Structure 1
Amino acid sequence: MTTKVYCIIATHNRPELLKEAVLSVVHQTQHVDCMYIVNDGSDSLTSEEVREWIDDSNNLPQLTVMTNKRKRNSASGAWNTAIEHIENIEQSKQEDADIFLAFLDDDDTWESIHIETCLQTLEHSAGKADVIVSGIVRHTSENCSHNHAIHPPEDITPDLCMVKNPHIQGSNLFVRLEKMLEAGLFDENLPSCTDRDLVIRLLDVRSTFSSVDQKWTVNHNSLLQDRLSTRGSETKTNGLRLFYHKYRHRMTVDLWANARAHASELFDFDIGPFSEEEDDKSQPPKSVSHCTMTDSVGQSSLLKRTVLLCGIISDKNSGRITKTLKCLYEFSTELLEVHIYVLENSSAESLDLLSLEIDKWQKKGLKIVRITESLLCQWKDLFTDEWMQDCIESTVGKRRSIAISRTIIQKVLYAHWTQLSEMLPRPEDCIIIGSVL
């Protein structure tokens, strides 16, 4: 099996910095197979302009310059745009290849051995590593003596990531495409803390992490004033607030205390005590929702229950859906209530079989909602991003890509969760999972 490496750079109106980042990719001792530059800014950018920066065009890898088609003014949206594009291309090729994504911020650079070192680390793991992280040199001053060499810890755990970033960020993240898709891509709802959020979800899907041995191959520019990690900035504090709202239910009192101390010391932000009810500022924005499932569930029936929300994307294999629904039916007890959303994404013949299967389990008492095309039209207010509305409209009656289907499911589950959070005595009792079939 061949190994391919795709470099993804998200950029926002910083051409001079971007040029340095691009040159560091071009000068790699081991070239990438393709470089994707996703423009998230208002300034135009073309492939021709980028090629003019390169003295020796023979060293330039295959280049694609594209516009962010997902959430704007968001590095996560830009990265996800490229990942979705790569996924669609690889599916159409149907090649037996191992695809890795190497991310680079437009204000950072790689040492010339970065890609070569990542591939050597992959080889040393006998091809088993899913995520490879290298050391970073943080440039905090023009004076080189003030720069800091940082290496990720050997043992990376979700608990560690909930307290602080384990020195993993976009520019030193080298990850297998398959695992990236399984983890659900970058969370575009988080204005900051996206890197450690992704690491947690990569760990949740049992990704194998490997660190580059004592090599610092990424130069991180910490001199800029408008960075996401700037102490006390609105972007950073909003990201912290949403991040800890997202993971509070997984944290112990001691873990929360450590996270609170770290956030206060590093970012001058108080995430609040663990025991108190979260105030309005800690709540994520309520989505406009027309989901009707909660209308059929009275408040009294929820007061003593934990609710499991499950999203399923259907395909032509009805047997797999049967097994999943049977499993969820067995989960449903007096203490656990299961709500299921099934997104139709297959042929008309398969949908007929799906309808029969859903009817069977609904009669057994499972709470299932089929997300049909007509229902998507009724729920159009959920999809406030213009790009998402265009994606849904342009794919009516067609099979949608996994990336678009996952986004639809995530939006619906999130909207349902916001409704349930008003009914449950403890919002964190509502668990959301996703299943892709």
Structure 2
Amino acid sequence: MNNVIVLTATTPRLSLFFKHALPSIINQTHPPAALVLISDTRQISQEEETILQNKLNDIPLYTLTNSHTLGAAGSWNTGIEFISEHFPNSYIAIIDDDDLWYPDHLSSCIANSNLGKADIVLSGINIKINQEIVAVNIPKEITVRDFFIGNPGWQGSNTFIKTKLATKIGGFTDGLISGNDRDLAIRVLETGIAKITYTNMATVEWICNQSPDALSAPGSKQKLIGCAQFLKLHSNKMSAYEIDTYFLRAYDLFSLSKEDILYELNQRGGDND
């Protein structure tokens, strides 16, 4: 199955999309069958759509506006529903508007899909900060428990999933502010039926947003809410060690204390100890 539909959610931030994601979509050695671009907060104008289509050349473009809760999860779900209706026998390849793929990303995912038998194909990620690659994350033999304490390498821009599976699990969790990749991975792995293969090479570049208003900025209110939401969804399945590790990671990476997260969780009707 070589039918790949690219899915991108944007607020819209078209300047970032033009600079990063769009050129890497156009330059794929295995061109996608279409690009589905979801705008979160407003409709893409006809002028913007014309510019985009001209740049995409022969790659068909579909632009939609988020029909769910505002945010990335709702935007992706809007796209998944559209793709499920119009391209049911396909893979969905997600790319964030400010990330990029290397030219062989889609071709390597297809080559490692075991002739379309794989439900998920995971590639590696180069993590880039200030124009420098600071780490390489190559996922292998991932498990549910890995995602309770961190992320072993399944993120937005290396999500390559069969449309039927994405639809079967209900897509992303609508309204979840952060941790969408981890939450999706947990729910996919919990089905016990997903066939996952790995490319064992980095073909994605995750460009970490270093701006002070970024979701991952230290002490971010949005990240605090996302951490509490994640615990509300999954803490009942986590061991005491995993919960402790979760809090330590939140503090180390985002300067969010256990007390702040538990307070936010309590505000949301959580019952975690």
Give your verdict on TM over 0.5: yes
Match of 1:71 among 66, 69, 72: 69
Change over 3 Å in CA distance of 1:34–1:44 after alignment to 2: closer
**1:353-372 to 2 correspondences below 5 Å:** none
> Alignment partner of 2:109: what SS?
helix
User: How far apart are the structure 1 equivalents of 2:116 and 2:12?
Assistant: 37
Cα distance in 2 for partners of 1:224, 1:12 equals 18
Q: In the TM superposition, what is the alpha-carbon distance from 1:280 to its structure 2 partner?
A: 5.5
Closer/same/farther in 2, CA of residues 210 and 231 from structure 1, 3 Å limit: farther
Partner of 1:121: 112
Aligned-partner Cα distance in 2 for 1:210–1:81: 26
Contact kept in structure 1, 2:68 and 2:74, CA below 8 Å:
yes
| Structure 1 residue aligned with 2:22 | 22
Helix, strand or coil: the match of 2:199? strand
In 1, are the aligned partners of 2:38 and 2:66 still within 8 Å (CA)?
yes
Aligned match of 1:84: 81
Q: How far apart are residue 44 of structure 1 and its match?
A: 3.6
Name the amino acid aligned to 1:266.
L
Deviation for aligned residue 1:38: 0.7
Tell me, what secondary structure is at the counterpart of 1:216?
strand
Gaps of 5+ in 1: 92-96, 287-420, 422-426, 429-437
Partner of 1:177: 163
TM-aligned CA distance change 1:140 to 1:43, over 3 Å: farther
Give the drift of 1:30: 0.3
| Letter aligned with residue 228 of structure 1 | L
1:93-242 equivalent positions in 2, closer than 5 A: 97=89, 99-123=90-114, 126-142=115-131, 144=132, 147-206=133-192, 207-213=194-200, 215-225=201-211, 226-242=213-229
| Partner Cα distance (1:271, 1:241) in 2 | 10
1:218-266 deviation line (CA, Å, top 9, x unaligned)? 1111144133222221111110011012211111111212222111111
Match of 2:231 among 223, 244, 257: 244
Partner of 1:257: 244
Q: Is the 8 A contact 1:138 1:219 kept in 2?
A: yes
For residue 27 of structure 1, what is the amino acid of its counterpart? N
Q: Give the corresponding residue for 2:6.
A: 7
Contact 1:242–1:284 at 8 Å: present in 2 too? no
Shift of 1:152: 3.4
1:269 to 247, 256, 259: 256
Structure 2 unmatched runs, 5+ = none
Closer, same or farther in 2 for the Cα pair 1:82/1:223, shift >3 Å?
Answer: closer
Q: Secondary structure at the match of 2:67?
A: coil
Change in CA separation of 1:122 and 1:68 when aligned onto 2, cut-off 3 Å: same
Alpha-carbon contact 2:110-2:116 (below 8 Å) kept: no
Identity across the alignment (%): 27
**TM-score, normalised on structure 1?**
0.57
Give the CA deviation at 1:13: 3.1
The answer to whether the 8 Å contact 2:43/2:65 transfers is no
Once the two structures are superposed, residues 96-127 of structure 1 have per-residue CA deviations (whole angstroms, 9 ceiling, x without a partner) of x3x1100010011111111001001113xx53
Other structure's SS at 1:3 match: coil
User: Whole-Å Cα distance in 2 between the matches of residues 268 and 202 of structure 1?
Assistant: 29
Give the count of matched residue pairs: 267
Which structure is higher in RCO with an 8 Å CA cutoff and minimum separation 6? 2
Give the CA RMSD over aligned residues: 2.3
Corresponding residue SS for 1:105:
coil
